[in-house]
Amino acid sequence: MLRLGTREFAPDEPVIMAIVNRTPDSFYDRGATFLDEPALERVGRAVDEGAAIIDIGGVKAGPGEEVDAAEEIRRTVGFVAEVRRRHPSVVISVDTWRHEVGTAVCEAGADLLNDAWGGVDPRLAEVAGRYGVGLVCTHAGGARPRTRPHRVEYPDVMADVLRVTTALAERAVELGVPRESVLIDPGHDFGKNTRHSLEATRRLPEMTATGWPVLVSLSNKDFVGETLDVPLKERLLGTLATTAVSAWLGAQVYRVHEVAETAQVLRMVAAIAGRAQPAVARRGLA
């Protein structure tokens, strides 16, 4: 059972995490949710469309203008508090690698810290343990925050993913994070080239076999764009195809931009797998 905030999710229950960027230079929406009202509208729409988790980020993942901890806190803390006020039951996640930010957002009501940079600040896990919130343990290949991979190599990329993420997960539990609130993430595109991300996807069963719930962050990423040779705004179909494969292979949490489309894909996969019933079944019965 995965427990995040006040919510519990069965092992075979797919969970959607909706991305809400509080940045003026997001790679995907170019700052569309930087201001409070558009961001709050995005949260409400995502919840209505089926998102159980809202993932709030104050710094874009890629290179760009320097954002210090104080500015990241300014962009996220008040917003976390307002989302908590408006949506008491939603799971609030904050995408950060800094322990100072983690402390501030936990005080404001966050339920989950999404450490996309693989424990580069080891004190972030300590914060999660102190507040008893969840933690996402990600493989980033040792990359520094906001850097792009350059000629990175692995003897076995999935072996490295398993070694890093399970060690981070066990350390988190030792520090007081509830075991049922820890997730592992292969870190698509983070410290990886496109072939690494594709291999990590097809080998997801090796991650699910560890017993830790697996989160995948696939949405509109470069590995999708390079695989299909399409620009950013044409990556939805590739993203949804990768989502379907990941669902079939056992991933549980999906960090996405397009919530409604993802929800349909996950329902379809669950029905094919026999874990869910059709919403309507009239054909051949009349």
Q: Which residues are catalytic?
A: 221, 255
Residue 265 burial (CB count, 10 A): 21
- Cα angle 28, 31, 32 (rounded to 5 degrees) comes to 90
Residue the block writes with tokens 């159980």: 52
Structure tokens at 281: 């079944």
Helix (H), strand (E) at residue 160: helix 157-174
- β-strand partners of 189: none
Distance (Å, rounded) from C-alpha 103 to C-alpha 266? Answer: 33
d(CA 193, CA 178): 33
- In three-state secondary structure terms, 31 is coil
Do 188 and 221 touch, CB atoms closer than 8 A?
Answer: yes
Closest among 105, 99, 53 to 80, alpha carbons compared: 105
Q: Can you give the length of the chain in residues?
A: 286
Angstrom CA distances, 130 to 11, 16, 162, 182, stand at 26, 26, 25, 14
* CA-angle at 268, arms to 267 and 274, nearest 5°: 90
DSSP letter assigned to residue 188? T
Kindly state the DSSP code that residue 115 receives in the 8-state scheme.
E
